[in-house]
């Protein structure tokens, strides 16, 4: 799977009240299996703690052939004071849901002239915000944790 930015130009009849516009469709999805978390700090005892990380390389493409590999380092707590213990499958589901929401928000507002590197940064920012809101302490970074292996989405 890949996130593809498809830019369609809608040619509307030139009638009063009609205009020419563009529409951006975001295709593809990130699935829980794409988020291969590794434990980088073990959670111990009953106190909040522990840390897991994953690394994704997500191709962002236009139908005209332009492509950019968006590199994402995702880090999440294992146990929080508010949410308690977060299992690895739950962490994967939360990350996938937040990433897909962020893609719709950030990439859906691109235009045919939006640089794909800028679209990647917008996606990372939106993903960081949605993930942090879903699970306090979570972060999305440009650099992956050294303990992770990149998952190249679409391979």
pLDDT single digits (tens) 37-94: 999 999 998 899 999 999 999 998 887 778 899 999 999 999 999 999 999 999 999 9
Total domains, the chain: 1
Looking at residue 56, its pLDDT comes to 97
* Average pLDDT, integer, range 145-149: 97
**Alpha-carbon torsion angle 81, 87, 90, 95, nearest 10:** 70
Long-range contacts of 38-47 (CB under 8 A, 24+ apart): 38/145, 38/147, 38/148, 39/78, 40/75, 40/145, 40/147, 41/78, 42/78, 43/78, 43/79, 43/85, 47/79
Query: How does pLDDT run across 105-131, given as a tens digit for each residue?
Result: 898 888 888 899 999 999 999 999 999
**Closest alpha carbon to 7 in 27, 28, 37:** 27
Element housing 79 (H / E): strand 67-80
Model-level pTM? 0.82
Least confidently predicted of 9-13, 20-24, 42-46, 54-58: 9-13
Question: Which of 97, 103, 105 has the alpha carbon at shortest distance from 134?
Answer: 97
Lowest mean pLDDT among 19-28, 35-44, 145-154: 19-28
Q: Domain of 38? A: 3-152
């Amino acid at each position: 799977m890949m996130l593809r930015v498809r830019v369609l130009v809608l040619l509307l009849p030139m009638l009063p009240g009609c205009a020419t516009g563009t529409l951006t469709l975001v295709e593809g999805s990130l699935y829980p299996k794409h988020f291969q978390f590794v434990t980088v700090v073990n959670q111990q005892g009953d106190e909040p703690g522990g840390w897991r990380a994953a690394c994704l390389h997500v191709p962002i493409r236009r139908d005209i052939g332009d492509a950019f590999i968006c590199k994402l380092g995702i880090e999440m707590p294992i146990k929080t004071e508010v949410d308690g213990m977060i299992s690895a499958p739950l962490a994967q589901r939360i990350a996938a849901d937040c990433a897909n929401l962020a893609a719709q928000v950030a990439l859906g507002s691109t235009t045919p002239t939006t640089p794909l590197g800028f679209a990647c940064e917008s996606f990372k920012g939106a993903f960081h915000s949605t993930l942090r809101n879903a699970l306090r302490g979570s972060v999305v970074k440009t650099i992956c944790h050294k303990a992770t292996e990149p998952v190249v989405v679409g391979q």
